[in-house]
């Protein structure tokens, strides 16, 4: 279940609380199908008998469900990939296609929609370039979100080790990106009307946003009832049939894990083996207890930090102070004056508790970001306590309004699924207990009042929760691996064990240091999956589980600097050309200092090798050399620290750098002082004209570099 920083509450509430003026018992006429463009029907005799079975799930008010259509086109059609030019690949490495399916197989005469799929062709070579044997059984990846577009996964998986041996198919689920998406500008319409200082009022805006999407979709002829996990599973089967594949392996992460459970019912005969990761129970279970699961990971973080003396000393009592900071923003959001923009048209940005709570929450998803977690939390605490406008402006201006994949994210589809699959009913059942158990964390993500209203809002939109055998816990004889990261904040191990214990033929593996989706994010994840798919009955290859990740070594302490936060805000608010003078300032100052250091060093080495006598005026040269060395050391140290911080997560840069960077920061004022000394000595004489000019230029460069670092907040004081 993918949730983006700053939009967590919006996704949880608005995406499932769709409001519509249409009463729930008012019939929605099925859209007319233009016979001139309708695709040819499939010959029933050519389809497997199971493909024509009636669905066991009847719609409300229906005694007998209609027969289910699978395809409206006899085969898949190739198409130029819609992400061509945005993702780098060579001809033959990636292919795209389209299939046509009914929008709602449970409504006779439902219109056709077109679904986009991607094939990443097996490479036949490993990461070292060695030839490896390709396997004939492909894998279909079931995407997450719900709502994340195919291009998001193509970018991640085109070099995944799974595709060293196997073709990987990715179906862009209905209502997303190039698969008949609706409500493309779901979160970005009328932005000026969507900024509220009251947190509950802000969330109510999301209800209006959802209602507008539902109304707009119906006006366009969209049957929102067709957007649910069961229809998504039928689409996956339809893709397999269109490709002419007798069977394939299934791999699903997050929402893809619940889709995999549905697919095991819809297309059991088409699945060789299945790996599901970051588990969502098909009956939802305790999924919506976000406060509880977040508290679980914060407890783990507190324990892990206490086990590292530097971390424990740098961030004492952090858990309590962090919840206090979230509570403070719940009571009084951070309001900032910003330059009017498309994101903040009124020139006023509002930071709510979902961002303060949500940023570390999102950093728990990826194992590589864990090292920065205590430092980021400490930075957020300090920013809240000081109401720091620089840090919050950087966070506000760097926000992503479109979800993963921008406007290709299927927010409307996500809304319909969360209503019909029971996410919001589960939230309404659990929200009071959640708020009592985790009064701060639960409030940061959900409003008690609005969550309780969500099921009725869904029903009013014509999207009540579906019930029936399709949503009961799955029991199957399929060989299944259930994987989960021990640090997963949103689909944690208790949910995975709940599902695995009921499947019947599943093996559960827990990656001890991973977050959300270890089979996707760990380098060895592809090797683990390929070994399982090679022989699903064999013992699991546990090397990746046991050795694929390491416990995080936390940045402790961190050096707080606003340099990068100021830079992010500057870049967001100013035209690009405004940055050019600063780039020129830094480039010339540090470049001349580096060149001077190299020349002085080689000149000194040359004299040593030639055993030449010390020339007159050596003191200015030594002062100049030391000034250049301090300048280069400062720039290199800050650069390396910034690279290490960004490698963990760019969010770390908003708050500061690894603690040792403060020593590199001290080199800035030292460089300035040595530059002034060198300039005085050069002007005092003792050198030739050329030597004076060269040393004077390097001394000025050291002074300029020091001034640049002071202006941008890279001095230690």
What secondary structure does DSSP assign to 351-387, as a single string? Answer: E-HHHHHHHHHHHTSSGGGGGGHHHHHHHHHHHHHHT
Alpha carbon 565 to its chain's center: 21
What is the reported pLDDT for 354? 95
Give the Cα-Cα-Cα angle 198, 200, 491 (nearest 5 degrees). Answer: 125
Assigned domain for 662 exists:
yes
Residue 416: which of 59, 104, 15 has the closest Cα?
A: 15
Based on the number of CB atoms within 10 Å of its own CB, is 346 exposed (0-12), middle (13-18) or buried (19 or more)?
middle
Task: For the chain, state the CA radius of gyration.
Answer: 29
From the first residue on, what is the mean pLDDT of each consecutive set of 10 residues in the chain (717 residues)? 32 27 29 26 31 37 59 91 95 97 94 97 92 96 96 96 98 97 90 90 87 92 97 98 97 98 97 98 97 98 98 98 98 95 92 96 96 98 97 86 71 96 96 97 94 92 93 96 98 98 95 97 96 97 92 97 94 88 96 94 76 70 94 98 97 97 98 96 79 91 98 94
Residue 245: which of 41, 479, 76, 69 has the closest Cα?
A: 76
**What is the C-alpha to C-alpha distance for residues 156 and 502, in angstroms, rounded to an integer?**
31
Instruction: Give the pair of three-digit tokens for residue 593.
Output: 């200092």
Other Cβ atoms less than 10 A from the Cβ of 130: the count is 9
Cα torsion angle, 373, 374, 379, 384, sign? positive
Structural contact between residues 667 and 597, judged by C-beta atoms closer than 8 angstroms: no
Which secondary structure element, helix H or strand E, spans residue 249, and what is its range? strand 248-253
Instruction: Give the pair of three-digit tokens for residue 266.
Output: 């819809």
Assigned domain for 379 exists:
no
Residues comprising the chain, all counted? 717
Q: How many domains does the chain have?
A: 1
What is the reported pLDDT for 42? 27
Assigned domain for 607 exists:
yes
**What is the C-alpha to C-alpha distance for residues 540 and 532, in angstroms, rounded to an integer?**
6
Assigned domain for 675 exists:
yes
Assigned domain for 275 exists:
no
Q: Which parts of 504-650 fold into alpha helices (H)?
A: 518-521, 525-534, 543-547, 563-573, 580-610, 618-648
In whole angstroms, how far apart are CA 303 and each of 297, 298, 307, 378, 440?
A: 10, 9, 6, 16, 20
Instruction: Give the pair of three-digit tokens for residue 107.
Output: 């409504």
What is the reported pLDDT for 38? 28
Asked if omega into 655 is within 30° of 0 (cis), the reply is: no
**What is the C-alpha to C-alpha distance for residues 704 and 593, in angstroms, rounded to an integer?**
10
Show the 3-state SS of 48-60: CHHHHCECCCCCC
Structural contact between residues 648 and 617, judged by C-beta atoms closer than 8 angstroms: no
What is the reported pLDDT for 602? 81
**What is the C-alpha to C-alpha distance for residues 375 and 635, in angstroms, rounded to an integer?**
22
**What is the C-alpha to C-alpha distance for residues 713 and 297, in angstroms, rounded to an integer?**
34
Assigned domain for 576 exists:
yes
The residues facing 558 across adjacent strands are 658
Give the Cα-Cα-Cα angle 74, 80, 81 (nearest 5 degrees). Answer: 100
In whole angstroms, how far apart are CA 458 and each of 16, 225, 283, 463, 612?
A: 7, 11, 18, 5, 88
What is the reported pLDDT for 36? 26
Q: Which parts of 370-492 fold into alpha helices (H)?
A: 373-386, 389-397, 411-420, 423-437, 441-445, 448-460
**What is the C-alpha to C-alpha distance for residues 68 and 178, in angstroms, rounded to an integer?**
24
How are strands ordered across the β-sheet holding 506-511? 77-79, 94-102, 112-120, 168-172, 139-142, 248-253, 271-277, 480-485, 506-511
Structural contact between residues 387 and 156, judged by C-beta atoms closer than 8 angstroms: no
Other Cβ atoms less than 10 A from the Cβ of 75: the count is 11
Which secondary structure element, helix H or strand E, spans residue 97, and what is its range? strand 94-102
What is the reported pLDDT for 73? 85
**Structural domain boundaries enclosing 637:** 560-711
What is the reported pLDDT for 127? 84
What is the reported pLDDT for 680? 94
**What is the C-alpha to C-alpha distance for residues 640 and 46, in angstroms, rounded to an integer?**
63
Q: What are phi and psi of 84, to 5 degrees?
A: -55, 130
The whole-model pTM stands at 0.88
Assigned domain for 691 exists:
yes
Structural contact between residues 218 and 225, judged by C-beta atoms closer than 8 angstroms: no
- Residue 388's Cβ-side half-sphere holds a number of Cα atoms within 13 Å equal to 22
Please give the biggest Cα pair distance in the chain.
105
**What is the C-alpha to C-alpha distance for residues 374 and 363, in angstroms, rounded to an integer?**
11
Assigned domain for 526 exists:
no
Helix 389-397 vs helix 563-573: angle between axes, to the nearest 10 degrees? Answer: 50
Which secondary structure element, helix H or strand E, spans residue 273, and what is its range? strand 271-277
Based on the number of CB atoms within 10 Å of its own CB, is 165 exposed (0-12), middle (13-18) or buried (19 or more)?
buried
**What is the C-alpha to C-alpha distance for residues 254 and 60, in angstroms, rounded to an integer?**
29
What is the reported pLDDT for 403? 54
Residue 242: which of 81, 84, 80, 116 has the closest Cα?
A: 116
């Amino acid at each position: 279940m993918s949730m983006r920083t700053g939009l967590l509450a919006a996704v949880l509430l608005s995406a499932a609380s769709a409001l519509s003026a249409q009463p729930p018992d008012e019939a929605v006429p099925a859209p007319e199908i233009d016979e001139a463009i309708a695709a040819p029907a499939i010959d029933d005799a050519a389809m497997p008998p199971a493909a024509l079975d009636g669905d066991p799930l009847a719609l409300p008010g229906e005694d007998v469900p209609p027969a289910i259509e699978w395809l409206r086109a006899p085969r898949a059609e190739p198409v130029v990939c819609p992400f061509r030019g945005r993702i780098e690949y060579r001809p033959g490495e990636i292919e795209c296609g389209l299939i046509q399916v009914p929008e709602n197989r449970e409504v006779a005469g439902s219109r056709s929609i077109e679904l986009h799929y991607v094939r990443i062709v097996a490479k036949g070579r490993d990461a070292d370039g060695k030839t490896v044997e390709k396997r004939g059984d492909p894998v279909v990846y079931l995407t997450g979100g719900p709502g994340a577009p195919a291009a998001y996964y193509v970018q991640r998986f085109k070099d995944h080790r799974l595709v060293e041996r196997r073709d990987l198919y990715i179906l862009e689920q209905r209502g997303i990106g190039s698969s008949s998406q609706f409500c493309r500008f779901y979160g970005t319409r009328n932005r000026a009307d969507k900024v509220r200082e009251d947190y509950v009022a802000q969330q109510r805006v999301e209800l209006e946003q959802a209602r507008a999407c539902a109304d707009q979709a119906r006006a366009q002829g969209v049957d929102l009832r067709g957007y649910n996990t069961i229809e998504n599973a039928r689409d996956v089967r339809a893709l397999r049939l269109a490709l002419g594949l007798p069977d394939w392996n299934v791999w699903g992460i997050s929402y893809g894990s619940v889709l995999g459970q549905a697919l095991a019912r819809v297309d059991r005969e088409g699945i060789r083996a299945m790996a599901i990761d970051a588990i969502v129970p098909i009956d939802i279970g305790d999924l919506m207890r976000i406060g509880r699961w977040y508290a679980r990971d914060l407890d783990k973080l507190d324990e892990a930090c206490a086990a590292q003396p530097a971390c424990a000393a740098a961030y004492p009592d952090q858990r309590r102070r962090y919840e206090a900071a979230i509570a403070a923003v719940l009571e009084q959001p951070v309001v900032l004056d910003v330059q009017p923009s498309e994101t903040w048209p009124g020139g006023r940005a509002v930071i709510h508790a979902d961002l303060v709570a949500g940023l570390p929450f999102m950093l728990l998803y990826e194992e590589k970001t864990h090292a920065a977690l205590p430092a980021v939390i400490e930075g957020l605490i300090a920013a809240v306590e000081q109401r720091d406008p620089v840090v919050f402006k950087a966070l506000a201006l760097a926000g992503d309004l479109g979800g993963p994949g921008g406007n290709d994210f299927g927010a409307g589809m996500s809304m319909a699924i969360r209503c019909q699959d029971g996410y919001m009913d589960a939230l309404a059942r659990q929200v009071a207990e959640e708020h009592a158990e985790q009064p701060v964390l639960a409030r940061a993500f959900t409003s008690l009042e609005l969550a309780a209203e969500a099921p009725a809002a869904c029903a009013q939109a014509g999207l009540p929760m579906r019930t029936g055998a399709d949503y009961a816990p799955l029991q199957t004889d399929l060989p299944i691996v259930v994987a989960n990261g021990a640090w997963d904040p949103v689909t944690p191990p208790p949910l995975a064990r709940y599902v695995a214990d009921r499947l019947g033929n599943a093996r559960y593996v827990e990656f001890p240091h991973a977050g959300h989706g270890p089979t996707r994010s760990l380098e060895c994840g592809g090797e683990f999956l390929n070994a399982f798919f090679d022989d699903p009955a064999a013992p699991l290859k546990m090397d990746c589980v046991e050795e694929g990740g390491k416990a995080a070594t936390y940045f402790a302490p961190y050096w707080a600097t606003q340099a990068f936060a100021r830079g992010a805000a500057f870049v967001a608010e100013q035209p690009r050309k405004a940055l050019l003078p600063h780039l020129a300032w830094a480039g010339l100052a540090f470049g001349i200092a580096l060149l001077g250091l190299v020349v002085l060093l080689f000149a000194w080495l040359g004299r040593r090798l030639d055993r030449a006598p010390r020339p007159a005026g050596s003191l200015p040269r030594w002062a100049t050399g030391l000034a250049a060395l301090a300048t280069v050391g400062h720039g290199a140290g800050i650069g390396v620290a910034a690279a290490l911080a960004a490698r963990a997560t760019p969010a770390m840069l908003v708050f500061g750098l690894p603690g040792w960077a403060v020593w590199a920061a001290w080199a800035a004022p030292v460089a300035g002082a040595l530059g002034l000394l060198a300039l005085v000595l050069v002007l005092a004489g003792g050198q030739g004209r050329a030597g004076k000019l060269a040393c004077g230029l390097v001394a000025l460069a050291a002074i300029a570099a020091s001034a640049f670092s002071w202006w941008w907040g890279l001095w230690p004081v």
